[in-house]
Amino acid sequence: MDRRESPPTSGEVILFTDGACSGNPGPGGWAFILRHPGSGKETSEAGAEWDTTNNRMELTAVVRGLSQLRRPTIVELVTDSVYVGTGLSEWLPKWKQQGWKRKEKGRLVPVKNEDLWRELDHLAAAHTIRFTHVAGHTGHAENEACDRMAVEAYKQLKLNG
């Protein structure tokens, strides 16, 4: 679902997200930048958790970013997380159909991070989301900014904790 079209129009927003973890599991951080190109408005936020995984932080960043939207919106989700993008576009419909289970070695097992996937599913239902994957740590300005914010968030947690 990698999109190579023109940038979003003024009726759309761009949500840049990233998660980071010091150890996996370990202390982790998440961050997002939410931009409305039509108005020039932008907001960002970051946070951290003590005992988490990188995938949980990637999901949390998207959930927290989408939570900022107050009406149905076309969202361009820009992330370096294949886990989030593939989960939204391919896995989620199957998991829901299978009662929030996934196949592993021929049997159904609980979906990992089900709480966050359910929350993301609920939030995503109100919007049209297009996923764009960017390679991490390759100079993409907003992805790098989100990474710095996420890392700083878990470093602050460790310093203050």
Which domains are present in the chain?
12-156 (3.30.420.10)
pLDDT digits (tens, 9 = 90+) for 99-118: 999 999 999 999 999 999 99
Q: What is the pLDDT of residue 3?
A: 38
With a cut of 80, say whether residue 145 has pLDDT above it: yes
Which one is catalytic: 11, 51, 115, 137? 137
Per-residue confidence band for 139, with pLDDT thresholds at 50, 70 and 90: confident
With CA atoms as reference, report the closest residue to 77 among 96, 90, 58, 104.
58
Indicate if 147 belongs to the active site. yes
How are strands ordered across the β-sheet holding 128-133?
A: 41-52, 26-36, 12-21, 74-79, 128-133
Q: What is the pLDDT of residue 135?
A: 87
Per-residue confidence band for 48, with pLDDT thresholds at 50, 70 and 90: very high
Indicate if 18 belongs to the active site. yes
Which one is catalytic: 28, 47, 58, 142? 58
Count of Cβ atoms closer than 10 Å to residue 142 Cβ? 20
Indicate if 137 belongs to the active site. yes
What's the pTM value of the predicted model, to 2 decimals?
0.90
Alpha helices (runs of H) in the chain, residue ranges in sequence order: 54-66, 82-86, 92-97, 114-124, 141-160
- State the average pLDDT for the chain: 91
Count of Cβ atoms closer than 10 Å to residue 20 Cβ? 26
Q: How far is CA 74 from CA 44, 60, 64, 128, in A?
A: 18, 19, 16, 5
pLDDT digits (tens, 9 = 90+) for 27-43: 999 999 999 998 999 99
